[in-house]
Copies of this chain bind each other. A is one copy, B any other.
Amino acid sequence: MRPALQLIAAATLVAPIAAQVPASHTLMPVPSSVQLTAAQLRVDTGFSVSTVRVSDGRLTRAIGRAVSRLEMRAGVPLFRRIGSAGSASLVVDVASPGFAVPDLAEDESYQLNVTGSGATLTAATVVGAIRGLETFLQLQGGDAKGVFIQGATIQDTPRFRWRGLLLDVSRHFEPTDVIKRLLDGMAMVKLNVFHWHLSDDQGFRVESRAYPRLHQLGSDSMFYTQEQIREIVSYATDRGIRVMPEFDVPGHSSAWFPGYPELTVGAGPFAIARTWGTFEPTMDPTRESTYQFLDKFIGEIAGLFPDKYWHIGGDEVDPKQWKGTAAIQSYMKSHGLANEVALHTAFNARLFAIVQKHGKTPVGWDEIFQPNLPTSAVIQSWRGTAVLATSAKAGFRGILSAPYYIDHMKAAADFYLPDPIPANTDLTPEQQALVLGGEACMWGEYVVSETLASRIWPRLAAIAERFWSPQNVVDVADMYRRLDVTSRRLSEVGLRHEEHVARNVRRLAGDSTALFETLLDYVRPRDFGGSGSNQFFPHTRLMDAALPDPRASWDITGRARRAVAGDAVAATQLRTDLTRMGAVQARLTAVRDFIPAAGEGVQVAAAMSNLSRVGLDALGFMARRTTADAAWSTYADSMLAALAPRRIGQWTLVPTATDAVRILVDAAKGLPPPRN
C-alpha cells in the first residue's frame, strides 16, 4: 500500500512551536509502511543505545557509526556506551546475527517505533537492524532546543533481494578509500550488492599470486592487493553488502594478454587498450590450457570473495579473431559448433563448471542466454528489459541493468520510473520471483576518482528506491523533494558530489566562479568523453565539472508543466529561471579572452540564450492569452530542432531546458498540455 503522506508535496521535516505531526517525511527509500506522530525523541548528551538478544561485533560497530553521525548533527558528544541491559534512548532488538557473509536470502526487514521517551528497532537479523538504523537517522529533525528523532511507527521490507551497483575499475582505477565512501553511500540508501568489474580491455585490477603478470603487466601498477580486497570485502560485510567480482571473459579481456599471450591467438605483443569500444583480442576457447588457466585463477581468487556468485562477463564478444583463425574454425567444425555464438556457449559451459567447482554460482550478461545454458546461471540484462522476461519464462533468474546505466547523463527521473517488473508484466508470480532485482552500472570510460561521486550521487538514491520501495511509489516530484535532502545527507559520510561543481569551477573559472556555476545550473554533459577521449585524459574540463542532473534544472520542466496548466507562481519562477539562463552567454563571451574554459561553454551558452528567448516569448503569448503566429512557431521549432543530439556534433555540453521550452512552445501554439 502506498503511504498516503507521499501524496503531499514539498515540505520539510520541521516542528513548529507546538509539535505537530509533520506533513511529510524525507525517508529514502520510502519504507513499506510509515506513520509519523507528533512525538520527538530528543538527542543530547544523555542519548544512549542498548542492545537486546544479539550484540555481535557487526551490530556494535554499526551502532557506533550511527551514533557518530548523530553526534555530528547534534554538535556535542553523545553517550557512547552500548550495553545489553536496561532502558536506553534507542533499544536495538535483533533476533539472530543472520548470515556471517551477506546473502541473497538475508532477511533485511525491520520495525522501528519512535516515541518521545525512547525508540525500539526490531529486526530478525543484524543486516535488518543496519537498514533500520539508516531509517532512524533519516527521521532526525531539529528545532530551537536542538535535534530530535521524529516520532514514527515503521514496518519495512525490501521489494527486491538483489539491489546493486556495478563499478567498473578497469577503464579507470578507483582507490580503496573512494570505494569505501561508495559503500557508505550504498548502505545509506539500503543497496546490498557491490558488483566489482575488475578486469576489462583497459586494465586488470587484482593481484594474482598464481599469475602475477596479470597485474604486473595489465594494470599500470594500479591494482588491488589481496590484502586490500579483503579489506573492502570486510568493509562491505560490515554494512550488509555483498561483493560480487566480475572478470569479463572471453571478450573484453585485452589486459590479460600482455602478461599471458598464450590465452589468445595471434602473434602479439599485446597491449592494454587505451581507448574505448570492443577489441579483437579474445580468449582462445579451443585450447585446453585456457581452461586450466581459468581453473587455477578462479580457484585462487574465489578465496578472496566469500560471496556465492561469480560474474563471468560474457558480453560483446567480437567474433573476428575466431573467424580468422584456421585452428579455431577447424575445432568448431570437428565439435559440431555451427557458429561463433555456439563456440561462446560451449566456452561458457566449460567455464560454468569451473566456477561451480569452486563453489560459486555463475552470473553473466545477457549474451550468455543461449540454448543449452544451464538454468543455474543468473542473467544480467544490459541490452533491454525484454530479455529478462524471456529468460524468466525459460526458468532463469535475472537482474535488470538496462535502464540503470548511471554513467549515462540522464536525469534521476529517467532512472526512477523503469521497473524490473513493470506493472503490465505478463509473468506469472512464480516467474516474477525469478526477477531478483536490479543493478545500476557505473562504467568507467569517462570518469576518474575526482568525478566519480558526481556521476553516481544523488541519482543512485532514486534507483535504490526503485529496488527497495513498494511498486506504487512513483511520484517524481516527491522523489526530487526527498532526493534534495538525501543528497545533502550523503555528504555526511564523506561523499563529495555536492562539492563537485564548486571544486572544479575553482580551477576552471579564475575570478568568474559565480558565472560558471550559473552556466552549470542549466547544462549537462554529453554521454561521451569529448573529442579524442582516452585513458590518459585528466577529466578537468567544463564537461567534467558539469552535473548529469543539476539541482537548478530539476524544477524547470515541472514549472513549465504547471505554468501551462495556469499556475502563475510557476510562470513567474520560470521567467526568473529563463532570464538567468539567458544572461550567461554575454557574460561568458566577456571573459573568453582570458579563461580557456569559457570556450567550451560558448556554444551551449548560445543555445541557452535561444532557449531563454523562445521560452520567454512563449510565456508572453500565454500571459497575453494569444496564440503564437506561424512565423514565430516555425522559428521556435527550428531552434529546438537544432538542439537534437545528431545536430550538435561535438558539443560536450547540452542545455537541460529543452523539454521545458518545448512544453511552453506547444502551449503558445495552442496545443493541449502534455500528459504526465
Which A residues contact B (CB, under 8 angstroms)?
A: 12, 14-17, 68, 71-77, 141-147, 177, 488, 491-492, 498-499, 502-503, 506-507, 510-511, 532, 534, 536-538, 540-541, 592-599
CB of A541 within 8 A of CB of B143, answer: no
Contacts of A145 in B (CB 8 A): 596
CB of B506 within 8 A of CB of A144, answer: no
Q: Which residue of B lies closest to A532 (CB)?
A: B76
Q: Which residue of B lies closest to A600 (CB)?
A: B75
A514 CB, nearest partner CB in chain B, Å: 13
Q: List the 3 closest A-B pairs by CB distance, nearest first.
A: A14-B594, A77-B536, A142-B596
Contacts A75-B538, A77-B536, A540-B73 hold; do A594 and B506 have CB atoms under 8 A apart?
no
**Whole-angstrom distance between the alpha carbons of A201 and B622 in the complex?**
72
CB of A76 within 8 A of CB of B538, answer: yes
CB of A593 within 8 A of CB of B144, answer: yes
A284 CB, nearest partner CB in chain B, Å: 34
CB of A594 within 8 A of CB of B488, answer: no
CB of A507 within 8 A of CB of B491, answer: yes
**Whole-angstrom distance between the alpha carbons of A96 and B20 in the complex?**
75
Contacts of A538 in B (CB 8 A): 68, 71-72, 74-77
CB of B17 within 8 A of CB of A540, answer: no
CB of B534 within 8 A of CB of A593, answer: no
Contacts of A71 in B (CB 8 A): 538
**Whole-angstrom distance between the alpha carbons of A593 and B12 in the complex?**
13
Contacts A502-B502, A506-B488, A507-B73 hold; do A593 and B537 have CB atoms under 8 A apart?
no
Contacts of A147 in B (CB 8 A): 596
CB of B510 within 8 A of CB of A594, answer: no
Contacts A491-B503, A499-B503, A507-B492 hold; do A537 and B76 have CB atoms under 8 A apart?
yes
Contacts of A12 in B (CB 8 A): 510-511, 594
CB of A141 within 8 A of CB of B502, answer: no
Taking A14-B593, A142-B594, A499-B503 as given, write out 15 further A-B residue pairs in contact, using a Cβ cutoff of 8 Å, ordered by the A residue number. A12-B510, A15-B594, A17-B593, A72-B507, A72-B538, A73-B507, A76-B538, A142-B510, A142-B595, A144-B596, A144-B598, A491-B506, A492-B507, A498-B502, A499-B499
CB of B506 within 8 A of CB of A540, answer: no
Q: Which residue of B lies closest to A43 (CB)?
A: B596
CB of B144 within 8 A of CB of A592, answer: yes
Q: Which residue of B lies closest to A499 (CB)?
A: B499
Contacts of A146 in B (CB 8 A): 596
A479 CB, nearest partner CB in chain B, Å: 17
**Whole-angstrom distance between the alpha carbons of A67 and B59 in the complex?**
47
A-B contact pairs, 22 of them (CB 8 A): A12-B510, A12-B594, A14-B594, A15-B593, A15-B594, A16-B594, A17-B593, A73-B507, A75-B538, A75-B540, A76-B532, A77-B536, A77-B537, A142-B594, A142-B595, A143-B593, A143-B596, A145-B596, A491-B503, A491-B506, A498-B502, A502-B502
**Whole-angstrom distance between the alpha carbons of A511 and B487 in the complex?**
12
A45 CB, nearest partner CB in chain B, Å: 9
Q: Which of A74, A144, A492, A511 has the most CB of B within 10 A?
A: A144
**Whole-angstrom distance between the alpha carbons of A177 and B507 in the complex?**
22
Q: Which of A17, A532, A541, A593 has the most CB of B within 10 A?
A: A593
Contacts of A491 in B (CB 8 A): 503, 506-507
Q: Which of A12, A75, A538 has the most CB of B within 10 A?
A: A75
Q: Which residue of B lies closest to A510 (CB)?
A: B12
CB of B77 within 8 A of CB of A534, answer: yes
CB of B502 within 8 A of CB of A540, answer: no
**Whole-angstrom distance between the alpha carbons of A145 and B74 in the complex?**
50
Contacts of A143 in B (CB 8 A): 593-594, 596
Q: Which residue of B lies closest to A542 (CB)?
A: B75
A460 CB, nearest partner CB in chain B, Å: 18
Q: Which of A143, A146, A592 has the most CB of B within 10 A?
A: A143
Contacts of A142 in B (CB 8 A): 510, 594-596
**Whole-angstrom distance between the alpha carbons of A503 and B488 in the complex?**
9
Q: Which residue of B lies closest to A602 (CB)?
A: B144
Contacts A507-B488, A541-B75 hold; do A594 and B534 have CB atoms under 8 A apart?
no
Contacts of A499 in B (CB 8 A): 499, 502-503
**Whole-angstrom distance between the alpha carbons of A242 and B594 in the complex?**
38
**Whole-angstrom distance between the alpha carbons of A77 and B448 in the complex?**
14
Contacts of A536 in B (CB 8 A): 77
